[in-house]
Each structure stands twice: as C-alpha cells, then as structure tokens.
A and B are shown apart, each in its own frame.
Chain A
C-alpha cells in the first residue's frame, strides 16, 4: 500500500505537471503515461496480481468438494476432458487456417485471462506478467493472436500498433462490467451461446422481458453483483463446473440477502418452492437470442461447405424448454480424466449429472439444459479422451486428432479407442423472466405438463391425484 501511495504521488505530480489536470477522462488517466503490458499494472497492483494468479480463473482448476469421488483433487478445465471442446492442453494456442486463409480455431487460451502461456502452479514474475488484466477491467478492450519476436503466438491488444488508442483503452479501468465477463462466457463451447444457453451475448443489451436482473434500462445488474467474490475468487460454479474456489459462499436466488425462501404472496407458491427451485418456474425457456448446442457427435465428422471446415454433427436449438431434474444443490457426478468412465442407467458417460432425488428432503427440482454428446474412450482403460480440435477442423482426420491429443494429455502413444455417448446437465440460472411469464399451474399439472412425473419419482401428477380424489 505504501509503495502504491508513493508511486501514485509520483505519477500524480507528473500528471499535474504535464497536463495541468486537464480532462480526467478515465479512472486511470493520471496513473501512468503509457501502457506497456501487465507490468504497468504490477507497479501498483502486485497484490491483486498475486491473488489473481491463485484464482480458478487463472489456474483453471480448484478444490472440488462437490464432485463425487474427487478424493481431494483440484479439478477444472485444465485437467478434465469435457464433451464440448474436450481439453485445452493439446489445443492451447495455435492459429488453424483453412486453405482459403479463414481462421478455424485459435486455441482454448482464447478464453484464458493470460497472454498465451499455460498457467503454472509456480508463481513467477513471468507468470504474473502473463495475466491479462484488461480483459476483465478495461472498457473496449479487444485482443488477437500475433507472433512475438521469438516467433511464438501471443495474445495482444489489437491496438498494439496504435499507442494513442492503446493508452486510452488501458486507462478506462473499472470493476468488471457484464460486457467484460461476457467476452468469454457468451462464447464458450466454440461459438455464440453454444455452451451455456442462458449466458448469451444479448445480455449486454437485454430488456426486462429478456432478463429481469441484467436488463440495461432497469436493474442493470452486473455479473459480480450476484457473483460477488473477493481476492479474485468468484463464487457460484453452478452444477457442472468442477472447481469451487469459494464453497463457503453460495450464490442462490433464495439467499436471505436476495429473495429469501418465501417471496410470494400466494402461500401455495412458497410451499412449492420447498421442492421446486425458483429457476424451474422463473426460467421458462432459454437460448432466446442465439441458438444453443444441444447435441454434439464428435464421431460423426463431416465437411461443412458453409463453415469451410470439417466439423462434428451438432444440433442447435432456440427458445428451448428446460429439462427438470432433482439436485441437492451441491453434489454432482462428474467424469474425472484418467479414471474408468462411470455411466448412468442408459450407458451414457456422466460428464455432469446432479445428485438428488425426491426422497432426499434437501433436493429440489432445478431447471437444466440437458446436453448430450459422443466422445472417444480409450480401449482397455476406459478413459475419456481429448481431441486435437484444430487439426480435426482442418484435416477431418479424427483418428490422428484423437491420438495426438491423447499423447499430449495422457502421454499414451497410438491410442486405440471407441465411441461412447455422454450426458451433461447444466444448471440454468440466468435469463430470469418477469413474474407474469413464470410457469403457471397447468404448465406442470394436467394434460399438457412439461414435467415427466414418473422420471421425477412420482406415480402420477400429485394435483391430479388430489382432484381425482375430490371428484369421487
């Protein structure tokens, strides 16, 4: 802090001397003259850089107390294999172009808040300088992949050749706004809204009908109003992100500081809320602007003329009705890499399946996006395998792409594999709509129900049962 103050005084007097304090346009207008990469920020914010270095957002893994059988391991994207883009390590940073020069992939580091190095567990000056603070803190920041002097790819601001523009952007520092979080979260899974379904870029301009929390003309909440953390830990991993760096802090609608557990005047709605979680009634549909990926069959690769690349066979849907599933709000069955696959009753690998049941009083029915894929699995050991997606998009040679990624990730040469279906439930917590559009009685009870009562553990619709009894 002392260091910060002294430096600040220095910078201030410089600023005053140079500009006579004209036009304090941005928060960091007077804090530095030229942005020279992260080291500029480190002059005053070394503590924050260190906290960010340890965060899940930098390490891409964290303690995973809610993953069944995680055995105290730290888990995350970096050491797991999911059924979207598989694993980032073999796909970290690269520029895959097709013959016409169109960019097919830039690597998973695109959504890492670093400038291109893989996160290391050892903190060093190099690692601290690798952090890209601007991606979460600067308005109007954009970056792209460029070669550095050593001929290696590196993420750099697109304004790196325009010092006036660069300095302007680097001084527009605030706490992260929703646009900054959406830079990564809206594009996960490889395209607009592909992965989450309820975190789409349209949230940056949403109206009240679209999202009653983040609507720009009304509540205009930012992501961090709900995901309010500290020291660069961000709480609220939902139902399918393995790491949970702030398990002590739950982010849920019925938290006392938010709505509590009896927000309705109608008692019946409040009694419902004991078994039916808020999202089940208040998020009637998702993917309201951009279609979301519902199925992805990596075994059925084909060439797409429109995209100019080989690709998986995918199903995309808009205005999707959620799937409903019990969840105890904590525990999740997830597939850990390097362990034999665990399957559900239908033989699908459980990439993420919430733990919960009607019998468990802690469980409630939540709204989910139900996603299914087909993934490569190692013969004999039955491990789920990654894919070198960039190579596959370019060449269409899936065998080579799986083998190469497997060698890089597991160190296994010439992997023999077959294909298996996966199941992946993803909690829906965003795009909450106004009260008038919350589900009504007949959406769940009666002949046109959206619930599969049997699958949820009921003999029949409980209201139907009461009505039957009453009419006899």
Chain B
C-alpha cells in the first residue's frame, strides 16, 4: 500500500490525529556569552595569577555576592591607583572601558564559585 492509501484508510477509520509526530522543536537558542572570558584573561589575570603579590583571583575565588560587592564597592577604590604595565601604564580603571568592565563582571559572576555546573570526569 502507498502512503496515501494509508492516510485515506485512516480517515475512513475516522481516527483523528493521524500523520506523523511533530517533533520539529522550536530551535533553542544558545546563549552566546560575552567575550568576558577573554577580557578577564587580558586585563585581570596578568596581575592575579597564582603566587601573584596582588593575590590570586579567578572567577572561582569568590561567590556571586562577593563579586557584586567587589565591582560595586571596591574595584574603583582599590584599582584606580594601580598602574597596568600591560596597557601603557594607565591606571587599571582607565585601561578598561565601562563596556569591557561590564563583560568582565558578567563573566566573573557567571563563573563564580557558587554558579551551578554539572560534574563530569575531566
């Protein structure tokens, strides 16, 4: 029997909901992360690597609340007088634009020590 005949046969049977499952799901969009990771690597990491005198800071050093507090209350104060040798010796707060800082902030909060991640083996 051909497909059409199956359809007709089923119609004759008077059965609703024939045909195939509609599995074409709405395409789920992947959130595209800002380039915060790269910016963090370029602007923050050189001063905050393991064994750095300035203290080691990765996004996982803090929980989200602590990062929020850092960016809201501390960053300006503790970094405005620190000169960044990798960026023309400008003060850190000037070397990094507001937009860039926002991306770095989003990245740090998203990857903070209390952000949720599945555990896999390696």
Contact = CB atoms under 8 A, between A and B. Distances in A.
Given A284-B23, A289-B28, A140 B62 contact: no
A192 B120 contact: yes
A168 B117 CA distance: 18
Interface stretch (B12-20, B35-43, B82-90, B92-100): B12-20
A446 B3 contact: yes
A442 B20 contact: yes
A196 interface: no
A420 B20 CA distance: 39
A186 interface: yes
Contacts of A467: 1, 6, 9
Interface stretch (A41-49, A325-333, A430-438): A430-438
A115 to B, nearest CB: 14
Given A168-B63, A207-B28, A441 B17 contact: yes
Interface string A429-472: 00001001111111101111000000000000000100110110
A158 B23 contact: no
B3 A142 contact: no
B6 A445 contact: yes
Contact of A448 (B3, B64, B117): B3
A103 interface: yes
Contact of A158 (B22, B60, B118): B60
A164 B63 CA distance: 9
Interface size class of A (residues with CB under 8 A): 35 or more
A204 interface: yes
Nearest to A139: B114
A179 interface: yes
A162 B21 contact: no
A110 to B, nearest CB: 6
Given A140-B64, A169-B114, A184-B119, 16 more contacts: A104-B122, A105-B121, A106-B121, A107-B121, A142-B60, A169-B63, A183-B118, A187-B119, A190-B120, A190-B122, A191-B121, A192-B120, A207-B28, A284-B23, A441-B19, A447-B1
Contacts of B120: 187, 190-192
Contact of A440 (B1, B20, B113): B20
A17 B26 CA distance: 55
A140 B63 contact: yes
A266 interface: yes
Given A210-B25, A268-B15, A437-B23, A442 B6 contact: yes
B26 A209 contact: yes
B116 interface: yes
Contacts of B119: 110-111, 183-184, 187
B52 interface: no
28 contacts: A102-B122, A104-B122, A140-B64, A141-B114, A158-B60, A164-B66, A165-B62, A165-B113, A168-B63, A182-B118, A186-B118, A191-B120, A192-B120, A266-B16, A285-B23, A289-B28, A393-B122, A437-B21, A437-B25, A441-B10, A441-B17, A442-B18, A443-B21, A446-B3, A447-B2, A448-B3, A467-B1, A467-B9
A277 interface: no
B7 to A, nearest CB: 8
B115 interface: yes
Contact of A447 (B6, B25, B118): B6
A162 B61 contact: yes
A159 interface: yes
A34 to B, nearest CB: 15
Interface of B: 1-3, 6-7, 9-10, 15-23, 25-26, 28, 60-66, 113-122
Among B60, B62, B114: residue with most chain A CB under 10 A: B114
A168 B21 contact: no
A140 B64 CA distance: 10
Nearest to B121: A190
Nearest to B30: A289
A190 B60 CA distance: 23
A175 to B, nearest CB: 16
Enumerate the 8 nearest inter-chain pairs by beta-carbon distance, A residue then B residue, closest first: A140-B114, A187-B120, A165-B63, A446-B6, A201-B118, A186-B118, A190-B121, A187-B118
Given A140-B113, A289-B28, A447-B6, A187 B20 contact: no
Nearest to B6: A446
Contacts of B20: 440, 442-443, 448
Given A190-B120, A191-B120, A288-B25, A441 B18 contact: yes
A79 B12 CA distance: 57
B62 to A, nearest CB: 6
Contacts of B10: 441-442
A268 B121 CA distance: 46
A464 B3 CA distance: 12
Contacts of B17: 266, 440-441
Interface in A70-93: 85
A85 to B, nearest CB: 7
Contacts of A288: 25
A186 B19 CA distance: 34
Contacts of A446: 1, 3, 6
Given A165-B62, A289-B28, A447-B6, A140 B115 contact: yes
Contacts of B22: 436-437
Contacts of B1: 446-447, 464, 467-468
B121 to A, nearest CB: 5
